[in-house]
Amino acid sequence: MMTKEDWNAVYFTVMPILGVGVSAIGVAIGLLALQRSQAQAAGVGSLEPTGYAPLGVNVPKVHYADSQVFVEVRNPREWHELREFIQPANPDVVRIMRSLYG
């Protein structure tokens, strides 16, 4: 059974640690907001981070085979040859290109 003094001791030990933790999170959020506003003011991107990946989630991998480079940069175990990401004949790509080409 904890006495009132025990509870007080726990309170005065935990609260300063909790306070420092909350302050640190506040400072980190402030710094991130500052970075974002600086980037936007300079015309670099419309920075809108959607979050940060937890470690180990969706980590890209590379696999070499038959002089080709395969990358796992979408779903796990979904391998794509690097050149697949450049699609000059894609109908949407051609449509945009023609609309700007005049």
Partner 1 sequence: MDSVAYKLWDWVCQAVQYRSDDGEWWSFPGETIRKLTGDCDDSATLLTSLLRSAGLDAYTVVGSYRGFGHAWVELDGKILETTYTYAHDVPDPQNYRAYAMFNDQEVIEMWPRAIGQLFEVARNECRKLTMMAEAQYDR
Nearer to partner 1, 12 or 85 (CB): 85
Which stretches of the chain bind partner 1, using CB under 8 A? 32, 35-36, 38-39, 41-53, 57-62, 64, 68-69, 71, 73-74, 80, 82-94, 96-97, 100-101
Nearer to partner 1, 12 or 52 (CB): 52
Minimum CB separation from partner 1 for residue 10, in Å?
38
Tell me which DSSP letter residue 56 carries: T
Nearer to partner 1, 10 or 39 (CB): 39
Length of the chain: 102
Minimum CB separation from partner 1 for residue 89, in Å?
7
Q: Which two tokens stand for residue 78?
A: 């979904």
Q: State which amino acid sits at residue 26.
A: G
CA 58 to CA 69: how far, in whole Å?
18
> How far does the chain reach from its first CA to its final CA, in angstroms?
83
